[in-house]
Amino acid sequence: MVPKETKATLDKLVALCKRKGFIFPSAEIYGGVNGIYDTGPLGVLLKRNIKTFWLNSLKNKLGKVVEIDGALIGPRAMWEASGHIENFHDPMIDCLNCKKRFRVDDDNIDINKPCPSCGKKEWTEIRQFNMMFKTNLGATADQATEAYLRPETAQAVFVNFKNVMSTSRVKIPFGIAQIGKSFRNEITPKQFLFRMREFEQMELEWFCKEEDARNHFDCWINKRMDFYKSLGLDQSRMRLRPHEANELAHYSTICTDVEYHFPFGWKELEGIAHRGCFDLSQHMKYSKKDLSVYDEETKESFIPNVVESSVGVDRLFLTILFDSYDEDEADGEIRTVLRFNPKIAPIKAAVLPLSKKLSPQAEKLFEAIEQAGIETDFDESGSIGKRYRRQDEIGTPFCITYDFESDQDNSVTIRDRDSMKQERISIDKVIPYLQNILK
Ligand code: ATP
């Protein structure tokens, strides 16, 4: 399928995110930090909705999914067992002339050609760079106190596998989900939220028997694609890309990426991997603790296989922004609109009194909608057209106008963000109307 044209560019999104309070460069008043961002009020709401949508999508017919929240810092021994100390490297190269550093596998780098930054061809040797952030716990700095900020959330799941099994009354197959921060000292963070040094991941580790693993891997691929469909992402911009044998990570047997067509090309949005029994076996070997499961039917113990689905909250956030960004014409002007799925829109509705004189009555309606648990805005300043534009730009699906007739007919006008059509409905139907769309 040929991806549809988009009016979104990275520059437009970066500017919109800052202008509207979705994302700010971190520590900006000190010049910012490359690859690190802070989330503003609207960004927090959007992220929360994305996470809820993801969690809800994990319900499935194969088995139960429980959630944990593991620590961000892990001891050296854990990262040795997981293979991260040995393998979590990216190949890097430096330009001796301008001192810029690059990832060798970066699409824009060809080491047979001159440096894209200064035009000279004076490369260093290729070296391996471990992307984990290292620290020491307490005042002594030796290998025993060495610890690392996690580069993925998954290991917290594996080391807690037995704790969860013995406390949650779950049976194989079942899943452990986790949403949390991960840290990677990326050589060249870029493309805004696409490649960051501090980011959030949503990961599901699905534990099953070896003989079911391939089938469950395929089931999860389908389920994950259903998730993106129900989120409303343009399917012409999505594809699955199975990994070639030579690009598989150290832990995986088979892996398929969910890719999205960004303005900078087809890129990974999510990785789905059949990890075999690598993780639990490694932790058994290094910790010398038994992480096997007893099978009542066969009367034998086995080490479960794992199917993993891993997507970055921030990368999905950026994808949703690209996907929903649009420009069209309204009242003879170009309007910017974020066509978010209403379920994930940060603000669901805005109550707009046509005149400030109507504010007290309109505020009552606003409070009632908020009380119903629906994120709502109240805006009484500027022309009604300007107020519509403000809400379109942040993706609010519905604007509710309280006008001079509202007092008499007990009705308001609801305007749909996408079609810009307006509908008159009675005030007591507003909340059920919104609830019906958001359920
Ligand atoms: P890439 O090839 O893009 O570096 P990866 O294969 O290293 O990604 P995984 O380790 O599979 O990524 O991580 C799972 C998911 O976490 C990715 O699909 C992506 O959504 C997210 N992710 C990984 N690294 C970053 C990052 N530096 N910034 C933002 N999100 C990230």
Element (H, E) at 366: helix 359-371
Q: Is 158 left (phi over 0), alpha (psi -120 to 50) or beta?
A: alpha
Measuring CA to CA, which residue among 354, 347, 331 is closest to residue 401?
A: 354
Measuring CA to CA, which residue among 254, 264, 166 is closest to residue 214?
A: 254
Q: How many CB atoms lie within 10 A of CB 210?
A: 12
Q: What separation in Å is there between the alpha carbon of 291 and the centre of ligand 1?
A: 28
Is 184's C-beta closer than 6 angstroms to any atom of ligand 1?
yes
pLDDT at residue 108 in the model = 80
Is 275's C-beta closer than 6 angstroms to any atom of ligand 1?
no
Domains in the chain with CATH codes:
10-74+153-321 (3.30.930.10), 347-438 (3.40.50.800)
pLDDT at residue 250 in the model = 78
Is 103's C-beta closer than 6 angstroms to any atom of ligand 1?
no
Best residue for ligand 1 mutational test, from 51, 238, 268, 318 (most atoms within 8 Å of Cβ)? 268
Q: Which residues contact 253 (CB under 8 A, 6 or more apart)?
A: 273, 274, 275, 276
State which ligand 1 atom lies nearest to the alpha carbon of 249.
Answer: 6
Q: How many CB atoms lie within 10 A of CB 391?
A: 23
Q: What separation in Å is there between the alpha carbon of 195 and the centre of ligand 1?
A: 7
Is 227's C-beta closer than 6 angstroms to any atom of ligand 1?
no
Cis ω before 173 (30° cut-off from 0): yes
The Cα-based distances of 177 to 44, 161, 206, 306, 411 in angstroms read 20, 11, 8, 12, 45
Tell me the C-alpha distance between 287 and 309, whole Å.
Answer: 25
Atom 23 of ligand 1: nearest residue by CA position: 312
Q: How many CB atoms lie within 10 A of CB 242?
A: 11
Query: Which tokens in the block code for residue 16?
Result: 């919109």
Q: What separation in Å is there between the alpha carbon of 71 and the centre of ligand 1?
A: 19
The amino acid occupying position 6 is T
pLDDT at residue 105 in the model = 86
State which ligand 1 atom lies nearest to the alpha carbon of 270.
Answer: 18
pLDDT in tens, 319-342: 999 999 999 998 888 999 999 999
Residues (pLDDT < 70) of the chain are none
Q: What separation in Å is there between the alpha carbon of 312 and the centre of ligand 1?
A: 7
Best residue for ligand 1 mutational test, from 315, 317, 321, 322 (most atoms within 8 Å of Cβ)? 315
pLDDT at residue 88 in the model = 94
Atom 18 of ligand 1: nearest residue by CA position: 270
Q: What is the value of pTM for the model shown?
A: 0.95
The residue written with tokens 């025993």 in the block is: 144
State which ligand 1 atom lies nearest to the alpha carbon of 310.
Answer: 14
Tell me the C-alpha distance between 263 and 255, whole Å.
Answer: 24
Atom 8 of ligand 1: nearest residue by CA position: 268
Measuring CA to CA, which residue among 404, 376, 372 is closest to residue 391?
A: 376
Tell me the C-alpha distance between 264 and 10, whole Å.
Answer: 9
Is 304's C-beta closer than 6 angstroms to any atom of ligand 1?
no
pLDDT in tens, 397-433: 999 999 999 999 999 999 999 999 999 999 999 999 9
pLDDT at residue 248 in the model = 82
